[in-house]
Amino acid sequence: MKRPVTSLSGGETFLTSLALALSLSSSIQLKGQYPLEFFFLDEGFGTLDQELLDTVMTSLEKLQTNNLAVGIISHVPEIQERLAKKVFVSPAEPSGIGSRVHLQND
């Protein structure tokens, strides 16, 4: 007899959350009058080992061909290297200089 899974690893939790978010996004698009063409993912990538990170990134890159842009918020260097377009945000400084945005296309 198989025992039920009672906990997930960090990577498994990330994949489960990603699958649910993408499914929910798809469901919302099917019901709406206006298509949702942009999807943001915020972190969680640091919990993935190198092989799983590669699998996730390859899957997300394939989504780009389906008229869906995926924005990724991450500090993981391997992810930053794979992204062709990047937006860097520098926080405001105590001297009064506000936040700055820098765009980079590789």
Q: Which residues are within 8 A (CB) of 55 and not within 5 positions of it... i.e. 6 or more apart?
A: none
What domains sit in the chain, N to C, each tagged with a CATH number?
A: 10-18+34-105 (3.40.50.300)
* pTM: predicted TM-score of the whole model, two decimal places: 0.66
Outline where 1-106 has alpha helix (H): 10-31, 50-63, 77-82
Q: List the chain pLDDT tens, one digit each, 106 residues.
A: 666 666 777 777 777 877 887 777 777 766 666 666 777 877 678 878 888 888 888 888 877 765 677 888 888 888 888 888 888 889 999 999 999 999 998 7
**Do 56 and 45 contact (CB within 8 A), yes or no?**
yes
Helix-then-strand count for the chain, H and E = 3, 4
Q: Say if CB 100 and CB 68 are below 8 A apart.
A: no
In DSSP terms, 103 is beta-bridged to: 87
**Whole-number Å distance between alpha carbons of 13 and 29:** 24
